[in-house]
């Protein structure tokens, strides 16, 4: 069934179809309509879940962590400072290997206060160990939420489903709502091997020593570093798991096939614009315009940022003349995080493209199509003389 709704409602509908059992959330713009919708689903009886209106985001993730530890499918959502307020808990959820799913409606971070879109909130959390999926439209939001629950419980790693605040969260688009029966077949119930159980007591997240240690039965138990090493290995292996889940989803629902990156007119392109999120669809218009002027250019959206899909990115970009990375986030004091990651991935390639970095749209600054055209034209005209520092688009600095 096709419906026309906001991105937040697409996310809420995905959560409902995934039969989340415990939902905890604290309101923050622009995530709020998502949790309002979920509370409505729960109060009306459409979704048989516990809805906990917690007193903070830190507590929202605490509820999810505890509920997941007890064997329930848990969900929360947030934005910007709310995400940062739960940072300690993000680390805890992944360290405890809990398949919590969280939507983040991307928003800039204070100070100064901003409620508008950029991606500094989630990009700054790239190192905590969560899987990060990014969406370009409402269909991807609802589909990604469902896939995220399956991925999270398959690999025992929490998943963030990220989408641009306002640009996607508050705009209305048509999208197909998957049938409940098909979602149930695709996403089996959460049945963890270990959970808080008086019949089989265990002590979870205990203080763990630097070295390995024998348990009471004489078996060697890992130390902290082994546990962390396993997380890294499992995160890397999650790429393949996600590819398989995406393929299965495509078979059932007819959508997917681009789990890592989404390419547009890249096959014969000499130049490729790269970004995360809805901007990649805006860039398609720019690419179409430039193609009319015989510029061989394409655009690539990055759909999963952690674990980093380096092989797919190398395959897509090695041998191109120039890669132009647009980012609504910055690793302050250095460069755009995505730019640095792509550069790093391409280091091992013998066919390294030139690579440029533009920062734009911070705090919701409007991204005008003409700005993108100008930036790309400049990069395409002189790919070899750009430098390694990011350039800023649309700045209005006082001379």
Q: In the complex, which residues of this chain contact other proteins (CB under 8 A)?
A: 21-22, 24, 48-50, 52-56, 58-72, 74, 88-89, 92, 196-198, 200-209, 213-216, 221
Output 65 or 325, the one with its CB closest to other proteins. Answer: 65
Helix pair 279-292, 369-381: axis angle to 10 deg: 60
How near is the Cβ of 97 to other proteins at its closest, in Å? 13
Output 63 or 238, the one with its CB closest to other proteins. Answer: 63
Asked if 291 contacts 323 with a C-beta cutoff of 8 angstroms, the reply is no
Output 74 or 161, the one with its CB closest to other proteins. Answer: 74
Segment (H or E) for 105: strand 101-106
At residue 148, what are phi and psi to the nearest 5 degrees? -65, -40
How near is the Cβ of 215 to other proteins at its closest, in Å? 4
How near is the Cβ of 144 to other proteins at its closest, in Å? 23
Residue 84 C-alpha from the chain's centroid: 15
Output 54 or 115, the one with its CB closest to other proteins. Answer: 54
How near is the Cβ of 192 to other proteins at its closest, in Å? 11
Output 70 or 377, the one with its CB closest to other proteins. Answer: 70
Asked if 54 contacts 15 with a C-beta cutoff of 8 angstroms, the reply is no
Output 88 or 388, the one with its CB closest to other proteins. Answer: 88
Q: What is the total residue count of the chain?
A: 399
How near is the Cβ of 16 to other proteins at its closest, in Å? 14
Asked if 23 contacts 76 with a C-beta cutoff of 8 angstroms, the reply is yes
DSSP letters of 271-311?
EEEEESSTHHHHHHHHHHHHHHTT--EEEEEESEEES--HH
Q: Which residues pair with 245 in a beta bridge?
A: none
Distance CA 302, CA 288 (A): 19
Output 22 or 302, the one with its CB closest to other proteins. Answer: 22
How near is the Cβ of 341 to other proteins at its closest, in Å? 29
How near is the Cβ of 184 to other proteins at its closest, in Å? 17
Question: Which of 131, 128, 127, 133 has its CA nearest to residue 153?
Answer: 131
């Amino acid at each position: 069934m096709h419906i026309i709704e906001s991105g937040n409602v697409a996310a809420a509908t995905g959560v409902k179809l995934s039969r989340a059992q415990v939902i905890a959330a604290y309101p923050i713009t622009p995530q709020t309509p998502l949790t309002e919708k979920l509370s409505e689903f729960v109060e009306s009886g459409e979704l048989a879940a516990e809805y906990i209106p917690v007193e903070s985001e830190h507590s929202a993730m605490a509820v999810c962590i505890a509920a997941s530890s007890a064997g329930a499918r848990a969900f929360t959502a947030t934005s910007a400072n709310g995400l940062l307020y739960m940072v300690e808990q993000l680390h805890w959820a992944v360290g405890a290997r809990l398949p919590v799913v969280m939507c983040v409606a991307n928003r800039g971070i204070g100070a100064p206060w901003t409620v508008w879109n950029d991606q500094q909130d989630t990009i700054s959390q790239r190192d905590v160990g969560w899987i990060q999926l990014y969406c370009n439209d409402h269909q991807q939001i609802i589909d990604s939420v469902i896939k995220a629950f399956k991925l999270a419980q398959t690999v025992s790693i929490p998943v963030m489903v990220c989408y641009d605040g306002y640009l996607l969260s508050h705009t209305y688009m048509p999208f197909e709502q998957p049938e409940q029966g098909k979602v149930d077949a695709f996403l089996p119930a959460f049945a963890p091997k270990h959970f808080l159980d008086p019949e089989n007591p265990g002590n979870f997240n205990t203080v763990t020593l630097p070295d390995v240690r024998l348990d009471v039965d004489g078996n060697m138990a890992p130390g902290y570093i082994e546990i962390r090493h396993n997380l890294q290995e499992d995160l890397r292996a999650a790429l393949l798991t996600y590819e398989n889940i995406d393929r299965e989803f495509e078979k059932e629902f007819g959508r997917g096939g681009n789990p890592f990156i989404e390419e547009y007119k890249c096959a014969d392109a000499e130049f490729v614009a790269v970004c995360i999120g809805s901007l990649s669809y805006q860039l398609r218009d720019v690419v179409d315009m430039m193609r009319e002027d015989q510029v061989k250019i394409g655009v690539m959206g990055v759909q999963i940022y952690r674990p980093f899909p380096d092989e797919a990115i190398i395959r897509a970009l090695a041998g191109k003349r120039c890669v132009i990375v647009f980012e609504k986030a910055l690793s302050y004091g250095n460069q755009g995080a995505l730019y640095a990651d792509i550069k790093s991935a391409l280091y091992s390639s013998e066919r390294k493209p030139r690579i440029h970095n533009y920062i734009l749209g911070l705090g919701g600054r409007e991204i005008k199509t003409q700005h993108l055209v100008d930036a790309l034209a400049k990069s395409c005209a002189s790919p070899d003389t750009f430098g390694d520092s990011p350039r800023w688009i649309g700045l209005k600095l006082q001379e």
